[in-house]
Structure 1
Amino acid sequence: MTPAARIQTAGELLDAVLAGQAAEQALTRWARSNRYAGSKDRAAIRDLVFDALRRKRSYAALGGAETGRGLMLGALRASETAIDEVFTGARFMPAPVTEAERAAFRSPSEAEARDLPDWLWPEFARSLGDAAEAEARLLRERAEVFLRVNLLKSNLDTAQARLAEEGIATEPHAVSPTALRVTEGARRVHLSAAYGDGLVELQDAASQAVVNALAPQPGQSLLDFCAGGGGKALAMAAQAGGPVTAHDIDPGRMRDIPARAARAGAEITVQPAPQGVFDIVLCDAPCSGSGSWRRAPEAKWRLTEDRLAELCTMQDAVLDAAAPFVAPGGWLAYATCSLLAPENSARVSAFQDRHPGWVMDFDRQFTLQDGGDGFYLALLKRG
């Protein structure tokens, strides 16, 4: 496919996404129906679609319309590409740009330029202060791919060497001692023997840093209270070198944990109803996901003020439900992949107001400038 044909296809797929279809679903359906497209074409079209979703508001302004065609026009204008050389109307290429379309081109407003909803930019700025501008800009970029070295089976040097043998280049990352940033061959990771043998797991560097900060030790009892697919439970098991209990309000989310634990050589017990008390209880609570919007840009446009309020109520309920499982002198760890203070420090303060006697010993907002996704972590000690 020519670059122009890829742009035409990306615009058509974006129309489907804007109409309500999930981006991954639209891309998969297109690939299955267009077998002629090679892997490079599929990768290029995927990048065009997701880049446009990350920058939907600024591209729509620059391109004059929030349509697939408008977003592609905006993308070309943002990159200072001559649009008339692409929108020619030739076979498989987009139709020429009309005068009416040119008249609709405009500069983005303040929130549009940052590719955030109008209501969200002020809260984003309040939450991040001087870092807000840089964080908004980084959310418009593609996320890097990180691996966690599984200390139960390998170490940093061995994992790097094994990956390199399969054409996957990596480098250590300062935010976590177990993190490797993939610099080449990211699309081959899932098929690699290093991944299949459990030497490495796909996990964001900041997500790994959250578990590093917990510093789980051998012999401690550990509960991942919102385990989901088990990424942090696996990291806790590897760091502590011992068993971890995994729980989630929706047991179906944990269905992959046994297979993942077996591959990693980790001891994880899945418990729909945990019993007893634990030295460390981790609550990786449901949240806006604002720190990971580079990976899931559609979520940025689905978040509303009402939904944010619902999430805050849910986070309060999660903390209240988890607190009784913390042993005297133990730790309640509250984490989100959010950059927004209402979901983070405000929830910890509200918890302390409801539960006197809990002391916050540590909190940190990991930003995109640290490398990896945006994450928040607070450690609360039970008196």
Structure 2
Amino acid sequence: MRLGGRIQAAAEVLADLAARHRPVPDALRDWGTSHRFAGSGDRAAISNLVLDVLRMKASHAWLMDDEAPLSLVTASLLRQWDFSPESLAGELGGDKFAPELKSPEDLATLIGKDLGDAPEHIQADIPEWTVGHFKAAFGETWLAEAQALAGRAPLDLRVNTLKAGREKVLRGLQAPGAHETRFAPDGIRVPAPEGPRRQAAATSEVAFAKGWFEVQDEGSQLAALLTGAQPGEQVLDYCAGGGGKTLAMAASMENSGQIHAYDSDRRRLAPMVERLKRGGVRNVQLIEAAEGLSPLKGRMDRVLIDAPCTGTGTWRRRPDAKWRLSEDNLASRMADQDEVLDKAAAFVKPGGVLAYVTCSVLPQENTDRTAAFLTRNPGFETLEAARLWSDKVGAETNAPLAADKTGLLLSPARTETDGFFLSVFKRRA
């Protein structure tokens, strides 16, 4: 397919998303099924276009004076894919499948508008009702933080130190631009591709099949690292999901001690079975039912809560979720977080540690929840966040502290990671 066909296809997928309010992968899959002539390169380009549009949908629409899918795709090509109005017109010339666009002169006028004249939420490309929450989380830098969540995310890998070292994996990795991560000691980063190019297929590498690495954002790696799991300890991963942080802690524990991995939806644990086998992990026990947790109460050295949340920190990867988020969703997640904090706290032994993690940047899910937890549970105290960062990551870098300085708040602008919050508590002996 030439560019014109890809533009038309992206506009069709966006129209489908607007009409049926469903996840992007479903819409893209259905489009591909009904257009089997499209090659893998075409599908990658169309997917990139759709996701780029959604990342900056609000500002695209404001500049174009139009929310129609074709206008949004055009804006994405001009603002995110480095086309000029003239080069875009030249690329589409003679393409019988190309849709009719505005003239280069009209496009230049529209894209040349000063975005600084737009309302704050338009400049930030976030839902209007979240602006106050971003200001509370980040203060004067809130706009840059929000805009950073509208970029493409890199591909991050965590080297499985049970089987390989970072240098060994880097030497064998067939991924352009792969390099060490900035903070995570076992991380490798593959930069996000530009324009139509697809991301490197790291999971197709022989090294992945051998269990030398897992796909895991650097922020998630840091959350697992800062939990502080040590060899020989008893650890409960209370919201284990597919097991990314479980596997990271298993490596930190050098396969000794025991990690008890539980999730309220036991179906989410299923992918971990193969991941544990591939990674050579032997110190993880899967707990499929809440009843199986009873013997662990008051006995755990560490409990990790990867809490259910709005996922605002992952908007680079799931930009469609940004526009579906509502205040009711937030309120529901806050209730879930309070519940899971109180339940998980019961498993921490005296002198033990409770780590609370979200992939959200909203203070209502982060510092507000931890403050409320301490009010309800005076037997816990907060460990100094700056000290945690210094001990595990290094004193030479400033800790990305949350607004109240009791937790750590990672973000694309601050740490070049997804958005994550972490606060660690100790149960008084």
Letter matched to residue 99 of structure 2: P
Letter matched to residue 302 of structure 2: I
Q: Which residue of 2 aligns with 1:308?
A: 330
Q: Which residue of 1 aligns with 2:141?
A: 131
**1:146 maps to which of 145, 151, 156:** 156
**2:253 maps to which of 225, 240, 244:** 240
Letter matched to residue 245 of structure 2: K
Which stretch of the first structure deviates more once superposed, 44-53 or 177-186?
177-186
**Partners of 2:221 and 2:248 within 8 A in 1:** yes
Q: Kindly indicate whether residue 173 of structure 2 is the aligned counterpart of residue 172 of structure 1.
A: no
**Partners of 1:87 and 1:93 within 8 A in 2:** yes
- What does 1:121-270 align with in structure 2 at a 5 Å threshold? 121-163=131-173, 166-167=174-175, 169-183=177-191, 186-241=199-254, 242=256, 243-267=258-282, 268-270=284-286
Unaligned segments of structure 1, at least 5 residues: none
Q: Post-superposition shift, 1:174?
A: 2.0
Distance 1:291 1:157 in 2: 29
- What does 1:69-88 align with in structure 2 at a 5 Å threshold? 69-78=70-79, 81-82=84-85
Q: Post-superposition shift, 1:39?
A: 2.3
**Partners of 1:123 and 1:340 within 8 A in 2:** yes
Which stretch of the first structure deviates more once superposed, 327-336 or 122-131?
122-131
Distance 2:34 2:218 in 1: 36
Q: Post-superposition shift, 1:245?
A: 0.8
Match of 1:177, SS state, is: coil
Q: Which residue of 2 aligns with 1:382?
A: 427
Could you give the per-residue CA deviations for residues 313-339 of structure 1, whole angstroms, max 9, x where no partner exists?
Answer: 110001011010111110010000111
Which stretch of the first structure deviates more once superposed, 203-212 or 129-138?
129-138
Q: Which residue of 1 aligns with 2:308?
A: 286
**Partners of 1:171 and 1:180 within 8 A in 2:** yes
Q: Are residues 186 and 68 of structure 1, via their aligned partners in 2, closer, same or farther at CA, if it must alter by over 3 Å?
A: closer
**Partners of 1:63 and 1:77 within 8 A in 2:** no
Distance 2:120 2:101 in 1: 30
Q: Are residues 204 and 167 of structure 1, via their aligned partners in 2, closer, same or farther at CA, if it must alter by over 3 Å?
A: closer
Distance 2:328 2:36 in 1: 42
Match of 1:219, SS state, is: coil
Distance 1:336 1:288 in 2: 9
Letter matched to residue 149 of structure 1: V
Q: Which residue of 2 aligns with 1:26?
A: 27
Letter matched to residue 172 of structure 2: R
Q: Post-superposition shift, 1:87?
A: 7.3
Distance 2:325 2:92 in 1: 33
- What does 1:321-340 align with in structure 2 at a 5 Å threshold? 321-340=343-362
Distance 1:174 1:77 in 2: 31
Could you give the per-residue CA deviations for residues 137-175 of structure 1, whole angstroms, max 9, x where no partner exists?
Answer: 111110011000001111111111221xx4565211122
**Partners of 2:175 and 2:202 within 8 A in 1:** no
Count of residues in correspondence between the two structures = 379
Which stretch of the first structure deviates more once superposed, 137-146 or 14-23?
14-23
Q: Post-superposition shift, 1:26?
A: 1.5
Which stretch of the first structure deviates more once superposed, 147-156 or 26-35?
26-35
Match of 2:178, SS state, is: strand
**Partners of 1:168 and 1:186 within 8 A in 2:** no
**Partners of 1:10 and 1:49 within 8 A in 2:** yes
Which stretch of the first structure deviates more once superposed, 59-68 or 88-97?
88-97
Which stretch of the first structure deviates more once superposed, 150-159 or 177-186?
177-186
Distance 1:299 1:269 in 2: 33
Could you give the per-residue CA deviations for residues 45-76 of structure 1, whole angstroms, max 9, x where no partner exists?
Answer: 11110000111111122233323113123324
Which stretch of the first structure deviates more once superposed, 136-145 or 124-133?
124-133
Match of 1:342, SS state, is: coil
**Partners of 2:53 and 2:72 within 8 A in 1:** yes
Match of 2:162, SS state, is: coil
**Partners of 2:3 and 2:92 within 8 A in 1:** no
Q: Are residues 21 and 214 of structure 1, via their aligned partners in 2, closer, same or farther at CA, if it must alter by over 3 Å?
A: closer
Distance 2:101 2:411 in 1: 42
- What does 1:94-109 align with in structure 2 at a 5 Å threshold? 94-97=99-102, 108-109=118-119
Question: How many percent of aligned residue pairs carry the same amino acid?
Answer: 38
**Partners of 2:4 and 2:95 within 8 A in 1:** no
Q: Which residue of 1 aligns with 2:382?
A: 360
Distance 1:300 1:167 in 2: 29
Could you give the per-residue CA deviations for residues 257-309 of structure 1, whole angstroms, max 9, x where no partner exists?
Answer: 11110111113211123231210000010111111110011111111112111
Q: Are residues 85 and 10 of structure 1, via their aligned partners in 2, closer, same or farther at CA, if it must alter by over 3 Å?
A: same
Q: Which residue of 2 aligns with 1:12?
A: 12
Which stretch of the first structure deviates more once superposed, 148-157 or 78-87?
78-87
TM-score for the superposition, normalised by structure 1 = 0.93
Distance 1:54 1:90 in 2: 28
Q: Which residue of 2 aligns with 1:114?
A: 124
Distance 1:32 1:249 in 2: 34
Distance 2:101 2:3 in 1: 16
**Partners of 1:84 and 1:97 within 8 A in 2:** no
Letter matched to residue 367 of structure 1: S
Could you give the per-residue CA deviations for residues 23-43 of structure 1, whole angstroms, max 9, x where no partner exists?
Answer: 111212222332322222221
**Partners of 1:18 and 1:67 within 8 A in 2:** no
